[in-house]
Amino acid sequence: MTALPTPEYSRNMRLIGHSDQGGRPDGVQLMVHRGFAYIGHMVSQGFSIVDVRDPKNPKAAGYVPAPPGTWNVHLQAHDDLLLVINARDLFADARFADEKVYYTRQVGETVSDVQDKGWSAGLRIFDISTPDKPREISFLSLSGIGIHRIWYVGGRWAYVSALIDGFTDYIFLTIDLADPRNPQVAGRWWLPGMNQAAGEQPNWPEGKRYALHHAIIAGDTAYGSWRDGGLTLLDVKDRTQPTLISHRNWSPPFGGGTHTALPLPDRDLLVVLDEAVLDNQEDGEKHIWLFDIRDPSNPISISTFPQPNERDYVAKGAHFGPHNLHENRPGSFVSSTLIFATYQNAGVRAYDISDPYRPVETGALVPAAPAKMMDTRPNRPQVIQSCDVFVDAEGIIYSTDYNGGLSVIEYLG
């Protein structure tokens, strides 16, 4: 077995396995399902499969390419289905070489002059009854740039963020999977000002990007994260006609980038994470917030998670700040007191929120710097950028990086 890369820092966590994902170490979202990790790529475009039945010895088990000009950065697995986004590979566009363009302008505005659709936009659905041999069974075609992210945990309904023609950026769509071989768009919702085709005018400040990153659904409520547009709670009892329950936005004065809203229904709490999107904290200090949602019409922030402070991570370079949360998916590790997050150049973090007014960090692991850079954008620092985190039912942590491959971690807290 190849020696494991030595983490830069660890506390109550230890690295037990690592994979370069078959020579494609760029990873974004991952799902661990029936002993296999499905990993969407940022640069390598398609998605990879890694056999993690022995988490200490992960083995590359396959790769499915994306159509030309398309990336598959996000995906979801449940039962025998794997749902994979198709969208334009934006980071292959020279106009997004400076990441400020992606994070501080409406994507629809930047690409409005594109005439030739040299990419695939929509949702690919695979049968994964044989886990390492995905078989595509259907494709939902959409207009525009395509889908960014999905929420699907089985059953009839999936939920996506999609940039379709006529809108300034990604909006909320419900997808009917009553027949997975014939998926259909059922409903949609957006923030006022986003429906350009209907004559709506953006009412947000210059330099802010209002776009749905994704929504997590619990019961009949969708908890949506709208980047600089903040947080929405939507009533989706009627999946064809989502309606607004409440909208909160703390940008300004804070820096925006709201990325993930994780409901903890048994405690009437909501963990809300703002993504750090620019180098050296140029977009401001970002936080993981804890909201009291006993009254869904009036979500109230009651605390913030502690920031990593064992070194000067701002000076380290690249992004320092939260990126994503382990999302308590059915079949994975589910807890309403132990929260796992990625912190980009500060690695993977664990938090105890038993006292919701005083979250405490209980473990951390910062992987080694990537061996090589996959990110082709100019002047990217060669430091870890821990991206996604998934914790399986046995408590084993899996984390991706834009360049550094898959880290498999044991929590010792």
pLDDT of 1? 56
**Residue 259 contacts residue 227 (beta carbons within 8 Å):** yes
pTM of the model: 0.97
Contacts of 247 (CB under 8 A, 6+ apart): 191, 230, 231, 232, 233
CA 258 to chain centre: 11
Report the pLDDT value the prediction gives residue 174, as an integer from 0 to 100: 98
Q: Give the pLDDT confidence score for residue 22 in this predicted structure.
A: 97
Reading across the β-sheet that carries 13-19, which strands appear in turn? 13-19, 406-411, 396-401, 386-391
* DSSP symbol at 40: E
Phi-psi region of 268 (alpha: psi -120 to 50; beta: other; left: phi over 0): left
pLDDT computed for residue 117 by the predictor? 79
pLDDT along the chain (413 residues), means of 10: 90 98 98 98 96 98 97 98 96 87 91 80 98 98 96 98 97 98 98 97 94 98 98 98 98 96 98 97 97 98 98 97 98 98 98 98 98 91 97 98 98 93
Alpha helices (runs of H) in 56-123, residue ranges in sequence order: 99-104, 107-110
Please work out, in degrees rounded to the nearest 5, the angle formed at the alpha carbon of residue 91 by the alpha carbons of 86 and 95. Answer: 125
Buried b or exposed e, range 334-357, using 16+ CB within 10 angstroms: eebebbbbbbbbbbbbbbbbeebe
Contact predicate 388/373, CB 8 Å: no
Please give the pLDDT value at position 92: 85
Question: In terms of C-beta density within 10 A (0-12 exposed, 13-18 middle, 19 or more buried), how is residue 273 classed?
Answer: buried
What per-residue confidence (pLDDT) applies to 44? 95
- Report how far residue 291's alpha carbon sits from residue 302's, in angstroms, rounded to the nearest whole number: 6
Pairing status of strand 70-71 against strand 75-78: unpaired
The pLDDT of residue 98 is: 87
